[in-house]
Structure 1
């Protein structure tokens, strides 16, 4: 921690913003890949360790989120005061080592402990990256940058499905954890050696100079922890963005952690088909949606900040009927075609929410504000979504439902409506503030 606590000299104007963004996106790919491996190799894990759907939901949901969500808060506060690059590299080393430990787990208890440690490490991954990107790209380019950065989940899930499923089929479910964890440890070292720390508020100050405004002024005293926390939870715009994102993630994580198991159990797919076709759906659908949504949001918000909320509300309204179709139709080819549309529109909220929160707070509050956003939306979505689906599936099976997992996935539908309502309320709030 001594190496992290001493921030290196900050670069006021990043020379190669594209290189910075590519490096952070690659780390996010590893972050999400490690997180998703449990769901990708769920069937082999169940066969090997005798894990139920409910236990699987706890590993991928509540147990992971307990550390991932709450540790992110002190980590965010610490990173706001020290080197964000140092915190990010240390976090990457921790979660990667814990991923290796997942592959070495001999029973369910050991797997739970290893997963909790992955969550502990990953808590320091995304919030520092949000702040580094914000201090590298000026307003008007940030949503597009976040759209590229948020390719991390799409690429991580796609690579995880393709790599994890193929390797698990040939060498067993443990090997993907060991190999990917080792790659992450090497990446953590390279990140610390070569990524430079940008100056806090550099791009805001540049924008303020160009416009004659005081944007980006950084107070002499660092933001206090509890004052930032109180500000976040008392701020209607920030809370509506966080709650809307959480309701959306309840669907995306609830589906994502059980999608491979559902496709194998209900749609008749096998691991090598998953490795090709489901991976393509994730890469094209989620990845394409992330890139397009970032650019669309940048265009919309130049006219009105309400675009930060209108875009996710409209996209979720489009996605919901396709989601119901995906769960209902027999056979995996048509199901995957419908899921492709779902993937395109399900993730528009992410770039919008992140860019809005980063724009809404001071430069010295950005890492902690990003961590608080992740706390709310991930505790609701990541913590409770997979847990809900797993226990619902076990309950429906105990009641004699022959398609228990399918019925459990149907119960996610109301959360689409909740998320849409919250984003509509946010759009109205932003429009009122603009008029005022």
Structure 2
């Protein structure tokens, strides 16, 4: 499936490599907008609930399942298109569309209106992740890919955090509707910049291989691509690991601000000022630390060691994550939250980098889309929705504290994800050889 001959970079290749820093920066910025537009509802949920008279289950649907259904299912056919055509064009169009739909959310008058607008956001964002990861994998060699993906993952961590900061401040002064418009509209201008400046690299450039076929030529069929991932047991465990971890993570980011308001006595503005902004930078530090440690481990021991690094960081974070739900003292609860965040954000970049390393060149966007399909439907879709449903079920017994126990229940899935990271490391070492570099 992959070409094995060494490819000598031509002038176009050298230009792509010279500008790869700019390309990575723009993709990270677009990812920032993607997650800001996706996660801003977290800080606005209590205001939206009061204004539109919604239940926790409905809020869970809006922040998770409804968005995820369209985001995940459309990601795969768009990724198939990205594996055979211009990825930069797909990214620019997607960015413009989801940004416009985010702004449109601000005009919603009821649950149905907001649901339809959120579906639009999901449709637009479906076209961003897989082609972006494919481009980064082509621009950075395996020994630098985890760090590059870690920088890219800053978009997730900073976008989610700063989205809550911006949303909280704007909503406090002007209402939740204006907040959605403020974060949505700038993305349209960014889409134009993306179209003009993002480099479209040759496929397989950073691997030193000739492309399997020119753009537009027939590529591996979708079902064969799915089968290839299914039969790669190491990749399958990585997908399972990031899916379970994402489910817990989306539950925390989706409901954390509401939990802080209901159980810890914080206001929406307090969460924006004292939690969201510091958490964004702590998570960003975690991502960079994870990427650096994983690349360092890969150089010393092999690519497989990256999975063990992520596993260890998740193990260290776990008891502090649980402490967040068991401590009533505000200072201690937030301290546990921040300590957990130092280690918890490290998994995203390295996991995607390992999957891209295992994927055939012409299936990189497809495997990224399959990973996003799992993390979106099961992680983003079920995480916030499950917390909302469990919270409503426990409300007769625990009252206002039902959300605390709902979030704790989902957090207890973390050891399951840790197991998959361990197993992926074992299988990668076998698959790639003792050096684990393949």
* TM-score bracket relative to the smaller structure: over 0.9
Task: Report the equivalent of 1:322.
Answer: 320
Alignment CA distance shift 1:400-1:269 (3 Å):
closer
Contact 2:246/2:380, CA 8 A, preserved across alignment: yes
Residues 76, 368 of structure 1: 8 Å contact kept: yes
Which of 197, 200, 208 aligns to 1:194? It is 197
Please give the alpha-carbon distance, in whole angstroms, between the structure 1 residues aligned to 2:374 and 2:12: 32
- Counterparts of 1:388-399 in structure 2, within 5 Å, are 388-399=386-397
The corresponding residue for 1:256 is: 253
Alignment of 1:183-262 (within 5 A): 183-205=186-208, 215=209, 218-219=212-213, 221-262=218-259
Partner of 1:166: 169
1:55 corresponding residue in structure 2: 58
Deviation at residue 345 of structure 1 after TM alignment: 1.5
Q: What is the aligned counterpart of 2:351 among 350, 353, 372? A: 353
Instruction: Tell me if structure 1 keeps the 8 A contact 2:139–2:206.
Output: yes
Q: CA-to-partner distance for each residue in 1:277-330, whole Å, 9 max, x for gaps?
A: 112332232110001101110111121222132122111111111011111111
Distance in 2 (CA, whole Å) between partners of 1:49 and 1:328 is 31
The aligned runs of 1:175-186 (5 Å cut-off) are 175-186=178-189
Shift of the alpha carbon at 1:148? 0.6
* 1:12 is the counterpart of 2:10: no
Preserved contact between residue 10 and residue 197 of structure 1 (Cα < 8 Å): no
Shift, 1:24, TM fit:
0.5
Query: C-alpha distance in 2, partners of 1:261/1:19?
Result: 37
2:203/2:211 contact within 8 Å kept? no
Once residues 249 and 11 of structure 2 are traced to their aligned partners in structure 1, the CA distance between those partners, rounded to angstroms, is 37
- Secondary structure, in 3 states, of the residue corresponding to 1:120? helix
1:92 corresponds, among 95, 98, 107, to: 95
- Displaced runs of 4 or more, over 6 A: none
SS of the residue corresponding to residue 179 of structure 1 reads helix
Structure 1 residue 219, shift from structure 2 partner: 4.6
Seen in structure 2, the aligned counterparts of structure 1 residues 10 and 329 have a Cα distance that, compared at 3 Å, is farther
Alpha-carbon distance in 2 for matches of 1:10, 1:408 = 56
Bigger mean CA deviation after superposition, 190-199 or 262-271: 190-199
Native 8 Å contact 2:158 2:284 kept in 1: yes
Corresponding pairs, count: 419
| Separation in structure 2 between the aligned mates of residue 76 and residue 246 of structure 1, nearest angstrom | 19
Which residue pairs with 1:29 in the alignment? 32
Q: What is the TM-score normalised by the length of structure 2?
A: 0.92
Contact 1:144 1:298 in 2 (8 A): yes
Distance 2:201 2:317 in 1: 38
Q: Retained in 2: the 8 A contact 1:161–1:278? A: no
* Structure 1: runs of 5 or more not aligned: 1-8, 206-214
TM-score normalized by the length of structure 1: 0.93
Asked if residue 429 in structure 1 is aligned to residue 427 in structure 2, the reply is: yes
Alignment match, 2:80: 77
Aligned counterpart, 2:375 = 377
**Residue 282 (structure 2) aligns with:** 285
Q: Quick check: 2:310–2:421 contact (8 Å CA) kept in 1?
A: yes
